[in-house]
Structure 1
C-alpha cells in the first residue's frame, strides 16, 4: 500500500488467528503499548542502506535510513497522516486500540521477520520522519500471514475482503516467481513532492535487481505516475480492483 504512492495484501482471519507469539498479547491501555510485546536485544537490520544514494543530489535535507523499534510510534503517526482517507480509516480506524495493534504488528515484523525491511526518510534539519516504507523481500508464501488477528475495533469481514483481493492480484501476476513487495509506503503531508517516496521506491527496486526479482505494488491513483518512472506497469484486473488500487509489476533489470 502506498500513498503518494499507498499499500496492502493480507490473509484471512482464520489464518491470522492461528499465529503465535507477540501477536497474541492483548493490552488494555494505549499508553502501555510498548510493554505489550516482549523486548529483544537483537539488532534490526541485515541489509545495509546504500548511503551513496541516501541523500538527494539537489542538496535536499532528506536522508534514507533503516527504521528501528524506537521509530515505531512516529511511523504510526506518519501512517495515519498519509492514509487519512475514508476508505483506509474504515479498514484501520484511528483509535487507541488500533494504534496499539499497529505497534505490535510492526514490532513483531522488525524482530522476527528479517526479510521485512522498514526504511525511513529523515529530515536531517529536525530529525522528523518524512516518509517510511516496508519492503517485503520475499514471496507471499515465504512471508506467511501479513498481519496479526484483527483488533476488535476493526470490521473483520471488510478487512478480509480487502486484503484477500490484494493477495489475489499479487498471486495472479507474480505467483510462482521470485518477487519483492512494497507492502507500505506513506509520506507525511508536510513532505510531499520532495523526493522521499522516490528514495524508498528506488531502494527496493535496486534490491530486486540485485536478486533478479520482480517488484510488485498495489498503487493508488496518486502514486501510479511515480511508480511508472521506475518501470512499474499497471496490470490490474478491473474486475478485482481493491479500493481503486492498481496492481503494478516491475520486471528485474540485470
Structure 2
C-alpha cells in the first residue's frame, strides 16, 4: 500500500504548499524563481499565499496535494498529515490571447522586468504551440513540486497520473513546461519536446542562461 494520499488541496494547505515551492525550486539552475521570488523576503511568500488563495477556488483549476500520515498529536483523536507534494492542473478551457492577459504585480521590483519577460514569453509560446484551447482542447500542468526529502519516492507520479488519466478519458492533449533537468522524467510519461525558451545571459551575467522546455503529450483515442 502506498504511503501517500492524494486529495484536493485545502485552504489550510496553502502555507505548506508555499513552503514546498520555495524549497523545491531553490537549486542554482532555478534562476528565474530565485530572482523573481527572493526567499528571504516575506513579500515573495505572501505573493504565493495570495495567489493560491484565489486559485484554489478556480472552477477551471485543480490544485492537488499529496500527504503522508504523521504521528498523532497528544490528545487528538484524529490522524495528523503532512503535505509533501502538490500540483496545479488546468482543465481544458478557452484561454484569452496573451495580449489580453495582464501579468501580476510582482513582489520584488528588481525582478519585475525579468518576470514580465519570462512569464509573458511562456504565455505567448503556449499560445503558439497549442493554441487557445477552443478548437484544440488540452489539459495544462502548470506546476508540480515535491518537498526535497520526499523527491524520487512517487509523490509526483501520483500527481502526474491524476491529470493524464483525465486527459486520456477525454482523448485530449496535455501540455507542460519543464526544466532540461526534468525533461527525461516527463518523457517517460509520453511527453515530447516541441520547443524551448532561452533567457539569455543579459539577465543573469556570469550565472549564464535559463532554459525552459515546452512539452506536449498526445491525446489517446477513447
- Asked whether the 8 Å contact 2:36–2:108 carries over to 1, the reply is no
Aligned ranges for residues 65-84 of structure 1 at < 5 Å?
Answer: 65-84=7-26
Aligned ranges for residues 119-158 of structure 1 at < 5 Å?
Answer: 119-125=64-70, 127-139=81-93, 141=95, 145=101, 148-153=104-109, 155-158=111-114
Note the alpha carbon deviations across 1:73-100, whole angstroms, 9 max, x for none.
0000000110113512112222111111
- Asked whether the 8 Å contact 1:93–1:154 carries over to 2, the reply is no
Summarize the Cα distance change of 1:67–1:154 in structure 2 as closer, same or farther, 3 Å threshold: farther
Of the three residues 153, 168, 193, the one matched with 1:234 is 193
Q: Which residue of 2 aligns with 1:89?
A: 34
Aligned-residue offset at 1:128? 1.5
User: TM-score of the superposition, structure 2-length normalised?
Assistant: 0.79
- Asked whether the 8 Å contact 1:63–1:122 carries over to 2, the reply is yes
Aligned ranges for residues 45-84 of structure 1 at < 5 Å?
Answer: 59-84=1-26
Aligned-residue offset at 1:169? 2.3
Aligned-residue offset at 1:142? 5.5
Greater RCO between the two (CA within 8 Å, min separation 6)? 1
Indicate the SS of the match to 2:195.
Answer: coil
Indicate the SS of the match to 1:151.
Answer: coil
Aligned-residue offset at 1:141? 1.3
d(CA) in 2 for partners of 1:199 and 1:60?
A: 10
Q: Which runs of 5+ in 1 are unaligned?
A: 1-58
Indicate the SS of the match to 1:245.
Answer: strand
Is 1:197 matched up with 2:151?
A: no
Is 1:159 matched up with 2:105?
A: no
Summarize the Cα distance change of 1:185–1:139 in structure 2 as closer, same or farther, 3 Å threshold: same
Q: Which has the higher strand share?
A: 2
Of the three residues 31, 45, 50, the one matched with 1:99 is 45
- Asked whether the 8 Å contact 2:9–2:64 carries over to 1, the reply is yes
Summarize the Cα distance change of 1:99–1:116 in structure 2 as closer, same or farther, 3 Å threshold: same
- Asked whether the 8 Å contact 2:103–2:116 carries over to 1, the reply is no
